[in-house]
């Protein structure tokens, strides 16, 4: 890591990677900043700046080498090997996540699921047996997982996430719509569905047009 990479750039890298992989599947070897930006609704200058920050991946007068970029981005994002994740909370959302095919496609697999409800513990969803949340520490140690997904409701969210952290989980994807506190060395990212709806509501109300 030479310089600090801006967060917006970082967030765009995943989009670049996904597009480039599809592009590569079509057998294309070279892409221009214009092609890449157009497909993602960005400016070509922005793509060039982003890729420039990461290093020099292009050839002037030619474009960017697709396999080279794909390879770099996979490495850079830490996606070169399959990652295992645990899931806590096997209600509706949890079940949906267990069956969600998108994770596996992007090399994340939920290898272990937990709940506190005795009626669900022991059942199997999509090949994953649901275990008692009390056993989380053991299981996380055994499986050597550092990724955790929280699909528990608001009221138990902080408690559940404390347990994850205590078990050794270092990166958490949280679906509970509440501010969660984690130690400095744990990274958490929250997906908040109602906030997104409220964002839409604002724009509907104020009659603006904005893309994204």
> Residue 8 binds which one of a copy of itself, DNA, none, with CB within 5 to 8 A depending on kind?
DNA
Q: Which is nearer to a copy of itself, 45 or 77 (CB)?
A: 77
- Which residues here bind a copy of itself, judged by CB under 8 A? 1, 7, 10-11, 13-15, 17-19, 39-41, 76-79, 83, 85, 92-93, 95-97, 99-103, 105-106, 108, 146-147, 153, 170-173, 177, 179, 182, 184-191, 193-206, 208-212
Pairwise CA distance, residues 140 & 169, whole Å = 8
Q: Which is nearer to DNA, 64 or 147 (CB)?
A: 64
Q: Which is nearer to DNA, 42 or 120 (CB)?
A: 42
Residue 197 CB contacts under 8 Å (≥ 6 apart), including other chains: none
Pairwise CA distance, residues 164 & 89, whole Å = 12
> Residue 62 binds which one of a copy of itself, DNA, none, with CB within 5 to 8 A depending on kind?
DNA
Q: Which is nearer to DNA, 48 or 137 (CB)?
A: 48
Q: Which is nearer to a copy of itself, 118 or 205 (CB)?
A: 205
Pairwise CA distance, residues 95 & 113, whole Å = 10
CB-count exposure of residue 33 (10 Å: 0-12, 13-18, 19+): buried
Return the closest-CA partner of residue 9 out of 52, 64, 60.
Answer: 52
Distances in Å between the Cα of 101 and the Cα atoms of 37, 95, 96, 138 are: 27, 12, 10, 27
Q: Which is nearer to DNA, 40 or 120 (CB)?
A: 40
What minimum distance in Å lies between the beta carbon of 208 and DNA? 13
Sign of the dihedral through C-alpha 53, 7, 186, 144: negative
Helix (H, G, I), strand (E, B) or coil at 113: strand
> Residue 105 binds which one of a copy of itself, DNA, none, with CB within 5 to 8 A depending on kind?
a copy of itself
> Residue 56 binds which one of a copy of itself, DNA, none, with CB within 5 to 8 A depending on kind?
DNA
> Residue 160 binds which one of a copy of itself, DNA, none, with CB within 5 to 8 A depending on kind?
none
> Residue 63 binds which one of DNA, a copy of itself, none, with CB within 5 to 8 A depending on kind?
DNA
Tokens 């600090």 correspond to what residue? 4
Pairwise CA distance, residues 167 & 117, whole Å = 20
């Amino acid at each position: 890591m030479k310089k600090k990479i801006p967060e917006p750039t970082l967030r765009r890298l995943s989009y670049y990677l996904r597009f480039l992989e599809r592009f590569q599947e079509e057998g294309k070897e070279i892409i221009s900043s214009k092609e890449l930006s157009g497909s993602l609704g960005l400016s070509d200058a922005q793509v060039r700046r982003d890729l420039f920050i990461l290093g020099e991946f292009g050839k002037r007068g030619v474009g960017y080498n697709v396999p080279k970029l794909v390879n770099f981005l996979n490495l850079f994002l830490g996606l070169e090997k399959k990652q295992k994740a645990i899931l806590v909370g096997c209600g509706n959302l949890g079940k949906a996540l267990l069956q969600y095919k998108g994770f596996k496609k992007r090399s994340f697999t939920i290898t272990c699921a937990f709940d506190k409800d005795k009626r669900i513990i022991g059942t199997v969803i999509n090949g994953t047996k649901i275990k008692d949340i009390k056993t989380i520490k053991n299981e996380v140690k055994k499986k050597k997982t550092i990724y955790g997904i929280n699909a528990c409701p608001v009221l138990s969210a902080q408690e559940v996430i404390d347990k994850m952290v205590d078990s050794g989980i270092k990166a958490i994807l949280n679906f509970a719509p509440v501010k969660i506190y984690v130690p400095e060395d744990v990274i958490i990212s929250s997906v908040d569905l109602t906030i997104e709806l409220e964002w839409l509501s604002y724009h509907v109300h104020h009659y603006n047009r904005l893309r994204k």
